[in-house]
């Protein structure tokens, strides 16, 4: 049976953003991410980092430097009781100074190459997996791979112009994104009778993670958007499928913490936004 994965962008999602970090100590984990990561990992999710690392192509640091950074990151996560299953990175950039890396590739996000490779090598079910990132290139890569996607709002992303760049949800921060995933997975798995997610597992996990997540969150620049009818198209590309779980688009003014049987997924990805390109 294929595994589910939690794909995470690195800079700005798992660790604090920094322009081309090149030393282990440059990677600072966000506070409060441990409980959510542990809960999902204990539920069977593989934890996989998906990261563009154009600093290699630009000559700012080497792949050996990157390896040391990721060894440090894995150790930092282990201190939180979290195991890092894999890291996939793209070293390319068309404007790089290292000739063999100064190319257009199919692994640099927003292309889905790293996720597709991970799915093959780790035997993952992409349709049951999630991708969390802080820019729209992350979201597009996740959507193209068939994952459910969450945008972490760092205040940099504007409403997207392309349908494929709409996330399923928007989160205030990474802990919020992890709570959204736990909530959606509990609803879906309990409806399927998956005993691994049924009470008291859900009760304990939710207590650890804090209050029920806001599934309708929008960034401050979205305050004029009517939440019941998000300002995004009502038709989507055929390769962008509904997640199959209750999503941000609802007919009720406030979402319940447990979903009634008549509250079904709208069939379109919700809570969507957009972004600018990242330096990396």
Residue 256 lies in a domain: no
Residue 171 lies in a domain: yes
Chain centroid to Cα 140, Å, comes to: 11
Minimal CA–CA distance to 171: which of 28, 3, 21, 33?
A: 33
Chain centroid to Cα 94, Å, comes to: 25
Chain centroid to Cα 245, Å, comes to: 16
Alpha helices in the chain (DSSP H): 34-42, 54-57, 63-78, 113-122, 136-145, 174-191, 201-209
- The stretch 95-104 carries a mean pLDDT of 96
Instruction: Write down how long the chain is.
Output: 280
Q: Return d(Cα 54, Cα 13) in angstroms, integer.
A: 17
Q: What is the pLDDT of residue 193?
A: 61
Q: What share of the chain in percent tops pLDDT 90?
A: 63
Q: Which range has the worst mean pLDDT, 43-52, 76-85, 101-110, 160-169?
A: 160-169
Residue 91 lies in a domain: yes
Mean pLDDT across the chain, nearest whole number?
79
The answer on pLDDT for 247 being more than 60 is no
The answer on pLDDT for 92 being more than 80 is yes
The answer on pLDDT for 249 being more than 60 is no
Residue 246 lies in a domain: no
Residue 61 lies in a domain: yes
Burial class (CB in 10 A: 0-12, 13-18, 19+), 36: buried
Residue 27 lies in a domain: yes
Q: By the 8 A CB rule, do 219 and 159 touch? A: no
Q: What is the pLDDT of residue 205?
A: 60
Chain centroid to Cα 198, Å, comes to: 24
Confidence of residue 268 (pLDDT cuts 50, 70, 90): very low
Catalytic residues: 9, 11
Residue 268 lies in a domain: no
Q: What is the pLDDT of residue 65?
A: 97
The answer on pLDDT for 236 being more than 80 is no
Residue 238 lies in a domain: no
Find the CATH number of the domain harbouring 127: 3.40.50.1000
Q: Return d(Cα 251, Cα 260) in angstroms, integer.
A: 12
pLDDT tens figures, 44-85:
999 999 999 999 999 999 999 999 999 999 999 999 999 999
The total of structural domains in the chain comes to 1
Cis peptide before 146 (omega within 30 of 0): no
Which range of residues forms the domain containing residue 142? 4-222
């Amino acid at each position: 049976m294929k595994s589910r994965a939690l794909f995470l962008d690195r800079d700005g999602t798992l660790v604090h953003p920094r322009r081309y970090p090149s030393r282990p100590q440059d990677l600072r984990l966000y506070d409060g991410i441990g409980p959510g990561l542990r809960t999902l990992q204990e539920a069977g999710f593989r934890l996989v980092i998906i990261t563009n690392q154009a600093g290699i192509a630009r000559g700012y640091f080497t792949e050996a430097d990157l390896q040391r950074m990721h060894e440090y990151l894995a150790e930092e996560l282990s201190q939180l009781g979290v195991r890092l299953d894999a890291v996939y990175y793209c070293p390319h950039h068309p404007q790089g100074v290292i000739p063999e890396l100064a190319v257009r590739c199919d692994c640099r996000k927003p292309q889905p190459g790293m996720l597709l490779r991970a799915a093959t090598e780790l035997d993952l079910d992409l349709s049951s997996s999630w991708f969390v990132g802080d820019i729209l290139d992350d979201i597009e890569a996740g959507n193209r791979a068939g994952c459910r996607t969450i945008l972490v709002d760092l205040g940099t992303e504007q409403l997207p112009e392309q349908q494929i760049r709409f996330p399923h949800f928007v989160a205030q921060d990474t802990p919020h994104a992890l709570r959204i995933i736990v909530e959606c997975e509990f609803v879906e798995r309990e409806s399927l009778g998956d005993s691994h997610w049924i009470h008291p597992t859900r009760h304990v996990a939710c207590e650890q993670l804090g209050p029920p997540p806001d599934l309708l969150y929008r960034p401050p620049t979205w305050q004029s958007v009517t939440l019941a009818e998000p300002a995004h198209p009502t038709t989507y590309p055929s390769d962008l499928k509904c997640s199959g779980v209750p999503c941000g688009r609802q007919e009720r003014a406030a979402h319940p913490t447990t979903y009634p049987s008549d509250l079904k997924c709208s069939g379109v990805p919700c809570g969507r936004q957009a972004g600018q390109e990242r330096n990396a």
